[in-house]
Amino acid sequence: MPGKPGRRSGGTGQPLLGDPSDGIDPYLPGNGNLGYHVSRYDLDLEYKVSTNRLAGTAVITATTVSTLGRLSLDLSNSLKVDRVTVNGDKVRRFSHRSRKLTITLATELPAGGVMTILVKYAGNPRPIRGQWGEVGWEELTEGSLVASQPNGAASWYPCDDHPTSKAAYGISITTDTPFMAVANGVLIRKRTKAAQTTWVYEQVEPMASYLATIQIGQYTRKTLTTRPVPIHAVFPPALRRNVEHDFAKQKQMMDAFVDMFGPYPFPEYSVVITDDELEIPIEAQGMSIFGANHCNGSGSYERLVAHELAHQWFGNSLTLNRWKHIWLHEGFACYSEWLWSERSGGMTAEAHARKYYDRLAASPVDLIIGDPGPEKMFDDRVYKRGALTLHALRKQLGDTQFFDLLREWTRQYRYSSVTTEDFTGLAARFSPEPLNGLWHDWLGQRSLPMYPGL
C-alpha cells in the first residue's frame, strides 16, 4: 500500500513498518505494509484437491515510496516460504512470523525504484481466524473456494493486504483435470497435460487483495448472455435446472444497474454456485459466489443475486480506502436490492425503507454507521441504515439528481479507493441545499433520525 516515507531508526537507514499513523488501517492493524506500492501480482499456483496442497510462486512488481532496506508482506504461517529474491538477487535474510514475511534486502533501494519480489512457497492453506470468523482459502467437499473479506488474502498468497493496495493480476492455477478452476479476470489460456489442467486468467483492472479469488470444483459453465457484457454461470451439472431458474433475471438486473449506475466496470461477470451450502454469498471482483442452498429452484434469493451484482460497482470498482467506510459498499448494495425490486415490479424502495426503518427503530442504537468499529462493521444495521441514508438522500435530491449523482460517482472514481468524504463532497454538487444535516443525522450519530421526508 502507498505509505509515507518511513521513520528511521538507529542510523540503519531502514524504514520502520506497521505504525498506524503511517497508514495502517486501525480496524486491521496487523494487515498492510509500508514503503512500497504494488502494481501487479503474477501468481503461478498448483493445487492438489485430495490433499489440500498448494504450491505457488508469486512474482510481485512494486515501486518503492521511500528508501527501502526492509519490507514485509502478509502471508499465513500455514504456508512455508522456500525462497525469496528481489530483482533476481538473493536477499540478506527473511523471516516468517505472525503472518508477516519480513525481507531484509542485500542492498537498499532508493525511493521510486522498481522492484520485483519473487516468493516461492507451499503448504496446506486454511482460513485465517479472527473476530469475523474464518476467511480466506477454504476446502469444500470436492474442491475449494476463496472468500477473503476482509483479511483472508494472505491465506493463499503473499500480498499487501490492504484495501487501497489495488493492482493488476495474472493468475495461473493448475489442478486435477476433472476440476474447473475459476479466478478473477478473463480466461486467456487453458491447457491439459496428462491428468492436470492449467487455467490462466488476466485481471487488468486494479483489484484489492481481498477481492482476489480462486474457485475449484467439478463445474460446468454456461453463458447466460453476451450483452451488455458476457455473463457466465459456473455450477455443478446437477444444479443446471435450478441455475436456469434462479439466475434467469441476471441479464435484466445487469441492464437495470447499467442504467442506474453507469457502465459495468469489468469485461465479464460470473456467478459461481458451489456444491456445498454457504452461510452467505460472497463477492469477488468480476464474480460472485453462491452456495447450493442459494440455488434451490425457488427464486427466493433474488435479492442476494442483485446485492452481489451491485458490489461490482460499489466495493470492487470503487473500493473503500479504510474499513470504517464500509457503508459505501454494503449500504449501496443493500439499496440496490430495493432499487431492483422497484424496477422489476416488486416492492418499492419506499416500502422497503419503511419496513426496515421500523426494524431499526426497534433495535439497539449503539453504533455510528460512518465509523462502526471493527467488531460491528458487518452488522446488518450498517447495511440497512446505510441503505436508508441513500433513500433519504434520494428523497431530498429527487430521482433525476440522485441517479445522476450515482452515475457520476461510479464514473469519476472508477477503479479508485474512496471515502465517505469523497461521496458527500460529490453529492454537494447535486443539491441546491446543504446536506450536512443529513450526513450528521444518518452517518454521524447513534440515534435514529426521523423517517426521511416526514
Q: Is residue 451 part of a domain?
A: no
Choose one of 312, 337, 355: the last residue of a domain: 312
Question: In the prediction, which pLDDT does 454 show?
Answer: 66
Q: How far is CA 360 from CA 145, 321, 448, in A?
A: 34, 27, 8
Query: At which of 277, 312, 347 does a domain end?
Result: 312
CA 309, CA 103: separation in Å to the nearest integer?
Answer: 39
Q: Are residues 348 and 247 in the same domain?
A: no
In the sheet where 186-193 sits, what is the strand order?
Answer: 89-90, 79-86, 114-123, 53-64, 36-48, 166-176, 196-208, 186-193
Residue 274: domain span: 219-312
Cα separation, 341 vs 114, whole angstroms: 49
Q: Are 335 and 301 contained in the same domain?
A: no
DSSP 338: H
How many structural domains compose the chain?
3
Q: 360 and 306 in one domain?
A: no
Write down the pLDDT at residue 66.
Answer: 87
Cell reading at 128? 485465517
DSSP assignments along 30-51, one per residue: TS---SEEEEEEEEEEEEETTT
In the chain, which residues have pLDDT < 50? Answer: 1-21
Rounded (10°) angle between helices 327-343 and 349-361: 130
Indicate if 223 and 170 belong to the same structural domain.
no
Residue 308: CB partners within 8 Å, gap ≥ 6?
271, 281, 282, 283, 288, 290, 333
Looking at 265, 283, 312, the residue that finishes a domain is 312
Cβ density class 72-84: b for 16+ within 10 Å, e for less: bbbbbebbebeeb
Q: What is the pTM for the complete model shown?
A: 0.94
Give the model's pLDDT for residue 17: 40
H/E stretch holding 437: helix 436-443
